[in-house]
């Protein structure tokens, strides 16, 4: 199962945060938002299919996030959590920790914003479009 969010970069994209990365429906970004990869997202977690949400509500669920900017693709792997709600109508956040709130779409990510390819980040700073795809394997891919 998969969910796709389309967003766009912004001159203030820094991708320097050590524990999260995010896309937001907001139409603005300040330099303080150092985890945000894209703004003006066309969807938020509250828009996701209930079957997708349910599949993510397990420690055994493997969740893969693919961020595509032009020809560049960056993949981050994490997992699900029983407390995931996908209720945010504003932003989708991936976390390296196991902290969960209404914005969280995956936990235990293998890296955060600071680990993203710098050429991809530079393209986002130039305002490039991005595609943020989440794929869930409920049984961990086995």
- Boundaries of domain holding 7: 2-137
Q: Is residue 85 a part of any domain in this protein? A: yes
Convert 123-135 into a string of H (helix), E (strand) and C (coil). Answer: HHHCCCEEEEEEE
For position 129, which CATH number holds?
2.60.120.630
Quick: pLDDT tens for 32-57: 999 999 999 999 999 999 999 999 99
Can you read off the two tokens belonging to residue 58?
């397990």
Can you read off the two tokens belonging to residue 139?
């049984």
Q: Is residue 42 a part of any domain in this protein? A: yes
The H-or-E segment that residue 24 falls in is: strand 20-24
Quick: pLDDT tens for 61-101: 999 999 999 999 999 999 999 999 999 999 999 999 999 99
The total number of structural domains in the chain stands at 1
Torsion of CA 112, 114, 118, 124, to 10 degrees: 70
Q: Is residue 142 a part of any domain in this protein? A: no
């Amino acid at each position: 199962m998969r969910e796709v969010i389309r967003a766009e970069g912004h001159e203030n994209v820094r991708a320097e945060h050590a524990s999260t990365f995010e896309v937001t429906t907001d139409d603005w970004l300040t330099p303080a938002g150092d985890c945000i990869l894209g703004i003006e997202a066309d969807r938020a977690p509250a828009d996701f299919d209930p079957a997708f949400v349910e599949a993510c509500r397990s420690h055994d669920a493997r969740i893969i996030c693919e961020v595509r900017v032009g020809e560049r693709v960056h993949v981050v792997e994490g997992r699900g959590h029983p407390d995931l709600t996908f209720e945010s109508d504003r932003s989708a956040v991936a976390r390296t920790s196991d902290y969960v709130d209404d914005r969280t779409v995956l936990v235990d990510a293998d890296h955060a914003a600071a680990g993203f390819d710098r050429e991809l980040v530079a393209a986002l700073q130039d305002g490039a479009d991005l595609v943020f795809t989440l794929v869930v394997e409920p049984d961990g891919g086995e």
